[in-house]
């Protein structure tokens, strides 16, 4: 039987388990990346494991999220991460050098390699033929220490592309189209391979837009073949030697095949408040726009920026619109400056922001009250922009630029002639903003710089045989990690201070939750389906741990969040009968009996003391996960073994 691209990479990296859909496999990880919002915690965990030097082929620590530095906290985190990187053998990408995924694609990604990153958009690397996955910080810490990364062997989906994108329609529209087809749950448990003749018409940055946004499908990752187009990109980045060809076998077996004819696509938008709430530009053309933001790890490549500059050239944005443009990396920004495109962007009335995540994670540029914001980003969850009642739409750079000019949602095709852009034969490569680690022999004497905001890891405790807790919070379907542990300019400075962070837990759903959870001492949370979708932030598990959450009971879980809960020693359980969700009410007093025996059988009995009812919950864990839960999480488990 032939193999898919992902299966080939898995086969070359598997260290234990069987390549059988649904069974647990352990993978050797070649590369890791962290960003600063999850990085501090990941490095605190790495230090706790106690390994003197990273064992990966390459590990990079990026600073791109918390660059607002409205107080000392972020700067202290940056300094801490820089000192850890120097000592332990990690490259340090300075603030301003760019968004982790964009820079990694440009300078470090290699076809055929495995990459995990403490950020859910790590699959961007799939655009260059990597098996690149988002993970919790603790998993990244373990991988840096040479430990394997455990996943459930995913199903294999294939998207067959035919045709060629029409003018004014771009890779972002392909992402929105697949979200329309599959929804935010449709990729759960699957790897999505992009293939077919149409692939040959897409450049690496376009492919990377598509693999980046595959995260919003809930997919484990997405991957493109590595072909002549990949070689061309690597050559232009001055690293053709990193090229290896990679394609699936003709007789590879897929669990689902989806056909998309690129020629038939139209400009699309994801409407508030979910990336799969798709409409066409035509349907929304009378909606007035207050703000447009172009950038983020989805759409900030040189190609996207040149296109935007060409659309804006010689024109002025509407008076009613505030437009921000954040190029994805220093490479992109300086090439835009060199060719004059930056002046075209500035002359249009745009505000140019630094090469960082910025507005995407609510770090400034929040929209006005009830404002309509068009963003080339990947998430439009409620409140994520920093303005609770904002209406955020996700769009392509073309649609964003066109709407900035007119002041209302605009099908870019109405602008007439599609401006040509010329991609340079080679990119400007200057890695001086990536600081190399100290030589191993000099590293031992180096100290770590810790600021007062950096607090230690929350305490975990082994799992008792009877768990009694209050049902302190009941939430609905599609709860994101942005609901559980919001981000934004006000909260992000506390990513390395779990006690302070806990004050904001579930703020979007119920501001009283932190106080009530503390008072309850032991808490169970009940959720609907796809609980924990979105960001990989392990803070969405560590903060609940700190607040006394011992189990989360939901209809279903998103992959990374379920792993983060187990890593934190919190049991994720599902209802045997999803209708039982309705039988539980907030503040019920719940008991989970015979936890150890239940871990073995995979079936748990939940006794609701308040209603007197009993219901069955399911928790099928691997041997390793059971041991981890019993030990109180991944850190105590790793230290023990
Ligand atoms: C995001 O896009 O939500 C983030 C911020 O990049 C997160 C990571 C984080 O919360 O720090 C992600 O996608 O994993
Ligand atoms: Fe940064 Fe936004 Fe990308 Fe997350 S999705 S890495 S916040 S640009």
* 529: DSSP letter: T
Report CA torsion sign: 73, 74, 77, 78: negative
- Using CA atoms, how far apart are residues 394 and 396, in angstroms rounded to an integer? 7
Q: How far apart are the first and last CA of the chain?
A: 37
pLDDT at 632: 95
Strand 351-352 to 256-261 pairing: unpaired
545 and 570 Cβ atoms separated by less than 8 Å: yes
Distance between Cα 544 and ligand 2 center (Å): 23
The percent helix, strand, coil of the chain (3-state, each to 5) is: 35, 20, 45
Ligand 2 atom closest to the CA of 535, numbered from 1: 4
Length of the chain: 641
Distance between Cα 313 and ligand 1 center (Å): 33
Beta bridge partners of 91: 60
Q: Whose CA is nearest to atom 1 of ligand 2?
A: 357
Neighbouring CB atoms inside 10 A of 152's CB total 17
CA 91 to chain centre: 21
* 217: DSSP letter: G
pLDDT of residue 458 exceeding 80: yes
Q: Whose CA is nearest to atom 3 of ligand 2?
A: 297
For residue 378 and ligand 1, the question of a CB distance below 6 A is answered with no
What would the pLDDT profile of 345-357 be if each residue is shown by its tens digit?
Answer: 999 999 999 999 9
- Using CA atoms, how far apart are residues 123 and 222, in angstroms rounded to an integer? 6
Q: Taking Cα atoms as reference points, which of 524, 425, 512, 509 lies closest to residue 472?
A: 524
586 and 474 Cβ atoms separated by less than 8 Å: yes
Of the pLDDT bands very low, low, confident and very high (cuts 50, 70, 90), residue 164 is: very high
Tokens of 248: 């699936």
Of the pLDDT bands very low, low, confident and very high (cuts 50, 70, 90), residue 198 is: very high
pLDDT at 639: 75
Q: What percent of the chain has pLDDT over 70?
A: 100
478 and 530 Cβ atoms separated by less than 8 Å: yes
Find the mean pLDDT for residues 582-603.
97
- Using CA atoms, how far apart are residues 575 and 620, in angstroms rounded to an integer? 12
135 and 233 Cβ atoms separated by less than 8 Å: no
Provide the H-helix boundaries in 247-353: 302-312, 330-339, 341-347
For residue 151 and ligand 2, the question of a CB distance below 6 A is answered with no
Q: Whose CA is nearest to atom 5 of ligand 1?
A: 361
What would the pLDDT profile of 463-504 be if each residue is shown by its tens digit?
Answer: 999 999 999 999 999 999 999 999 999 999 999 999 999 999
For residue 357 and ligand 2, the question of a CB distance below 6 A is answered with yes
Distance between Cα 145 and ligand 1 center (Å): 23
Element spanning 604, H or E: strand 603-608
Q: At what angle do helices 559-567 and 539-546 cross, to 10 degrees?
A: 40
Domains, in order of start, for the chain: 5-264 (3.30.499.10), 268-413 (3.30.499.10), 467-634 (3.20.19.10)
Q: Is the peptide bond preceding residue 110 cis, with omega within 30 degrees of 0?
A: no
pLDDT at 316: 98
Beta bridge partners of 24: 152
pLDDT of residue 364 exceeding 90: yes
Q: Can you tell me whether residue 33 is helix, strand or coil?
A: strand
Q: Can you tell me whether residue 270 is helix, strand or coil?
A: strand
Closest-lying ligand to the alpha carbon of 378? 2
Strand 278-280 to 268-270 pairing: antiparallel
* Cα-based torsion angle of the residue sequence 376, 379, 381, 384 in order, rounded to the nearest 10 degrees: -70
Secondary structure (H, E, C), 574-590: EECCHHHHHHCCCCCEE
Q: Taking Cα atoms as reference points, which of 203, 379, 394, 225 lies closest to residue 307?
A: 203
For residue 539 and ligand 1, the question of a CB distance below 6 A is answered with no
- Using CA atoms, how far apart are residues 234 and 218, in angstroms rounded to an integer? 29
Of the pLDDT bands very low, low, confident and very high (cuts 50, 70, 90), residue 286 is: confident
Ligand 1 atom closest to the CA of 537, numbered from 1: 10
Closest-lying ligand to the alpha carbon of 538? 1
pLDDT of residue 640 exceeding 80: no
What would the pLDDT profile of 37-83 be if each residue is shown by its tens digit?
Answer: 999 999 999 999 999 999 999 999 999 999 999 999 999 999 999 99
Angle (CA) 170 174 177, round 5°: 135
Ligand 2 atom closest to the CA of 300, numbered from 1: 8
Q: Taking Cα atoms as reference points, which of 325, 279, 321, 273 lies closest to residue 300?
A: 325
Q: Taking Cα atoms as reference points, which of 600, 534, 541, 558 lies closest to residue 274?
A: 534
* Tokens 């409140």, located at residue: 383
Q: Taking Cα atoms as reference points, which of 248, 404, 442 lies closest to residue 323?
A: 404
Alpha-carbon Rg of the chain, whole angstroms?
24
584 and 612 Cβ atoms separated by less than 8 Å: no
pLDDT at 57: 98
Please tell me which residue, 610 or 641, carries the higher pLDDT value: 610
Of the pLDDT bands very low, low, confident and very high (cuts 50, 70, 90), residue 460 is: confident
- Using CA atoms, how far apart are residues 333 and 602, in angstroms rounded to an integer? 53
The model's pTM is: 0.97
Of the pLDDT bands very low, low, confident and very high (cuts 50, 70, 90), residue 3 is: very high
For residue 90 and ligand 1, the question of a CB distance below 6 A is answered with no
Find the mean pLDDT for residues 604-621.
97
What would the pLDDT profile of 519-537 be if each residue is shown by its tens digit?
Answer: 999 999 999 999 999 999 9
φ/ψ (deg, to 5) at 236? -65, -25
> Average pLDDT of the chain?
97
Distance between Cα 377 and ligand 2 center (Å): 8
pLDDT at 17: 97
Distance between Cα 442 and ligand 2 center (Å): 35
Provide the H-helix boundaries in 474-551: 481-484, 498-501, 513-520, 539-546
Q: Taking Cα atoms as reference points, which of 572, 573, 523, 571 lies closest to residue 547?
A: 523
């Amino acid at each position: 039987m032939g193999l898919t691209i992902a299966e080939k990479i898995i086969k070359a990296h598997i260290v234990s388990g069987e390549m059988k859909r649904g069974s647990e496999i352990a993978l050797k990880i070649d590369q890791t990346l962290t960003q600063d919002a999850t990085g501090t915690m990941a490095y605190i965990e790495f230090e706790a494991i106690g390994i003197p030097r990273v064992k990966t082929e390459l590990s990079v620590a990026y600073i791109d999220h918390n660059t607002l530095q409205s107080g000392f906290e972020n700067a202290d985190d940056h300094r801490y991460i820089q000192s850890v990187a120097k000592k332990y053998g990690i490259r340090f990408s300075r603030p301003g050098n760019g968004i982790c995924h964009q820079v990694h694609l440009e300078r470090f990604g290699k076809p055929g390699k495995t990459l995990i990153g403490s950020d859910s958009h790590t699959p961007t690397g799939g655009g260059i033929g990597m098996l690149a996955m988002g993970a919790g910080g603790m998993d990244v810490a373990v991988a840096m220490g040479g430990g394997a990364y455990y996943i459930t062997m995913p199903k294999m989906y294939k998207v067959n592309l035919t045709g060629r994108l029409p003018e004014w329609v771009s890779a972002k529209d392909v992402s929105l189209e697949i979200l329309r087809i599959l929804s935010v749950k449709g990729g759960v448990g699957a790897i999505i391979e992009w293939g077919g003749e149409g692939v040959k018409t897409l450049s690496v940055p376009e492919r990377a837009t598509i693999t980046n946004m595959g995260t919003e499908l809930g997919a484990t990752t997405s991957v493109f073949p590595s072909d002549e187009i990949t070689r061309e990109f690597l050559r232009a980045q001055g690293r053709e030697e990193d090229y290896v060809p990679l394609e699936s076998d003709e007789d590879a077996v897929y669990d689902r095949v989806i056909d998309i004819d690129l020629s038939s696509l139209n400009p699309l938008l994801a409407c508030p408040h979910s990336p799969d709430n798709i409409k066409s530009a035509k349907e929304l053309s009378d909606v007035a726009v207050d703000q447009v933001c172009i950038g983020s790890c989805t759409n900030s490549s040189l190609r996207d920026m040149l296109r935007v500059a060409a659309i804006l050239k010689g024109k002025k944005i509407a008076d009613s619109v505030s437009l921000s443009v954040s190029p994805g990396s220093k490479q992109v920004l300086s090439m835009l400056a060199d060719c004059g495109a930056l002046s075209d962007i500035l002359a249009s009335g745009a505000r140019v922001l630094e090469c960082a995540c910025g507005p995407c994670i609510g770090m400034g540029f929040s929209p006005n009250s009830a404002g309509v914001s068009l963003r080339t980003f990947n998430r439009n969850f409620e409140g994520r922009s920093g303005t609770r009642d904002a209406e955020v739409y996700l769009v392509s750079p073309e649609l964003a630029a066109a709407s900035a000019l007119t002041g209302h949602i605009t099908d870019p095709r109405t602008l007439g002639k599609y401006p040509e852009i010329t991609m340079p034969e080679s990119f400007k490569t200057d890695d001086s903003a990536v600081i190399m680690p100290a030589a191993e022999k000099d590293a031992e004497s180096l100290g770590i710089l810790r600021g007062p905001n950096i607090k230690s890891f929350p305490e975990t405790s082994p799992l008792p045989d009877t768990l009694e807790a209050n049902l302190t919070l009941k939430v609905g379907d599609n709860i994101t990690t942005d609901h559980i542990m919001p981000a934004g300019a006000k909260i992000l400075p506390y990513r390395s201070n779990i006690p302070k962070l806990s004050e904001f837990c579930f703020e979007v759903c119920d501001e009283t939750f932190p106080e009530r959870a503390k008072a309850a001492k032991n808490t169970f949370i009940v959720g609907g389906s796809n609980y924990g979708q979105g960001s990989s932030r392990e803070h969405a598990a560590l903060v609940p741990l700190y607040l006394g959450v011992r189990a989360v009971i939901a209809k279903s879980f998103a992959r990374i969040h379920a792993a983060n809960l187990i890593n934190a020693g919190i049991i994720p359980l599902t209802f045997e009968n999803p209708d039982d969700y309705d039988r539980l009410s907030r503040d019920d007093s719940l008991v989970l009996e015979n936890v150890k025996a239940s871990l073995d059988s995979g079936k748990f009995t939940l006794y609701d003391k308040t209603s007197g009812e009993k219901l069955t919950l399911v928790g099928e864990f691997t041997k390793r996960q059971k041991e981890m839960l019993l030990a109180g999480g991944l850190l105590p488990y790793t230290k023990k073994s």
